[in-house]
Structure 1
């Protein structure tokens, strides 16, 4: 049975960040994903060459033997990229959070507190430096969406978050993408950067969005959190 705990003051920054990300406080407008920009290089006009006098005829040189053509070197294939080191998943508690509306379930990381941001769960580390939430989006049919559409759904879900800036998404499987993001959280006179990752998965007529958020102190555990939670994110 899940034990519900009250989020302490130590986690207030992350909780506020999630509230801003989920419900927003700014106007409309979808921030552009960082897919790179076009650029142009200006070229200087080449001046017309001045006319030169006609050359004086010179005696024809003696013919020389044609050089033997040399074979072009065969290019070597680039070495395969180094495999990324395996990420050790964060430990799970053995319990799962089940959405009361029957849309999804997700694992609870060990010792994490369970609270709410509106109608969405907010699961947070004891030190308040890493937290995650899940949002479910119903679709009109189970027609498979392209990766770009999954990324756009994630952006539109969290676009009003304070300083929310999505990165370039990557496909991690059929009907599944992952997208990094950054943001900022202003508390009093101080601005605290936050960062995270979004996992978007289409399951039939449902889109499940797992968002992990961290402070600078918790950023190194983002990948480990995704590794632990990915297999636990399931529809009900």
Structure 2
């Protein structure tokens, strides 16, 4: 019997083209961002951060009821933080962009899952808490984003009046605010935007608390009612100043 030598079996050749097309595994952070849970947590956390900023901004606006000097002093104090102030602005811009971007992604994901919408809507109330504010979040959010650009253009980068404050030359931001809110079209338009803000916050605040896991079934009705009250309070707080200026009670 003759022994035959066989060549060792060759390993299958790697498909270079297939390997090149196979993407590397996504990082845990990217997988978290792409997941439904991750998007809900991101919108919840960024939403709560923006609510905190809006509330602080409203309180700052109300200082104009004390007087122009108090309002300008507040604006000067904020701007005097220097590098910290600009870093905060950049961080706030990033939060706004991230919140809007993820919100749009969630909206389009829902649209793809249900391309044909319902012909009629009815507020479900009860456990689902479906309301007009919850169904129009993408609309109110988009309008608020556009308004933010014009708002910054008007006040952050608007006319630079100067005045004296404790012997120091500072920006007279109070004068700019008073001048703008003496125009009825501006006041009315601002009021409409604030109503949309209240609607956005009504659903957004309680939804954010639920998304990050701070609500359980027992306190959801209470949290829902409190969110509506806070949203309404913020909207009213912002509306007080422009109408008081237009009616001649301030300035």
Report the TM range for the smaller structure's normalisation: under 0.3
Which of the pair is proportionally richer in strand?
Answer: 1
Larger radius of gyration: 1
- The TM-score, its normalising length taken from structure 2, stands at 0.22
